[in-house]
Structures are given as structure tokens and as C-alpha cells.
């Protein structure tokens, strides 16, 4: 299972319902995963059944103290400013939407990448 299709459907629904007016947000599939780019910058994604969020250094430090949130380490090297969210931390749609909002809020501060 490259990524959890149920989580992808929930994520797509939340983004469509709550974050659709945000310009520059686009769906992407890469490396067997599923995610969203914002203005050409990776914003969030799914790896297996885990949500991956790009939230910046300060926010990552804060949310890493929460239950079922860990550092992003898919290759043996921790990526600073990112976090992985386990299923238990996003059982409710409002909890999932909160992590989506944190990622969008941070990535919207980054300069757009040219295609």
C-alpha cells in the first residue's frame, strides 16, 4: 500500500470544503505517495497511513510534543520543519483540518517556486 486511499479521500474533501479558495494549491503524486503543493512548494502529503506536514521549525517543535506526532524521517535523516502525524492524532476531521491549516499557513509564507 503506497498510501492510504481513505486518508487521501478525507484530505481531498477537507481541502475542497475548507481550503478551496486558497490559490496555488495543487494535488500531486510522487514516490508512491499523495500530497499537495502550494505555489510549487511541497506542503503536505501522505506516506502509507501517515500524514506528512511542512510546518516550519517553530511549529514543528510545538506539535512534536503532542501525542502521535513525530519527526519526519522517511530516509534515515530527520527533515527539520516537518512532522508526521499518526492516524490516532487525526481520527476526527477537525483534527486533520488543523494539521492541514498549520501546513498551509507555513508554506504560504514561502516564496513561490517557478515551474
**Between β-strands 41-47 and 33-38, what pairing exists: parallel, antiparallel or unpaired?**
antiparallel
Task: Using alpha carbons, select from 67, 73, 105, 103 the residue that is nearest to residue 86.
Answer: 67
What's the pLDDT score for residue 97?
Answer: 97
- Kindly compute the dihedral angle of the four CA atoms of residues 26, 34, 80, 83, in this order, to the nearest 10 degrees: 110
pTM for the predicted model, two decimal places = 0.92
Cell numbers 506516506 correspond to 47
SS3 17: helix
CA 92 remoteness from chain centre: 16
pLDDT digits (tens, 9 = 90+) for 21-61: 777 888 888 767 789 999 999 999 999 999 999 999 999 99
Amino acid at each position: 500500500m503506497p498510501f492510504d486511499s481513505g486518508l487521501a479521500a478525507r484530505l481531498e474533501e477537507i481541502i475542497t470544503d475548507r481550503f478551496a479558495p486558497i490559490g496555488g494549491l495543487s494535488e500531486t503524486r510522487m514516490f508512491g505517495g499523495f500530497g499537495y503543493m502550494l505555489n510549487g512548494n511541497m506542503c503536505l502529503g501522505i506516506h502509507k497511513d501517515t500524514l506528512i506536514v511542512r510546518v516550519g521549525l517553530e511549529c514543528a517543535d510545538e506539535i512534536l510534543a503532542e501525542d502521535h506526532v513525530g519527526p519526519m524521517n522517511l530516509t534515515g535523516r530527520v527533515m527539520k520543519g516537518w512532522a508526521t502525524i499518526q492516524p490516532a492524532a487525526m481520527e476526527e476531521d477537525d483534527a486533520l483540518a488543523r494539521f492541514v491549516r498549520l501546513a498551509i499557513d507555513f508554506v504560504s509564507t514561502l516564496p513561490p517556486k517557478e515551474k
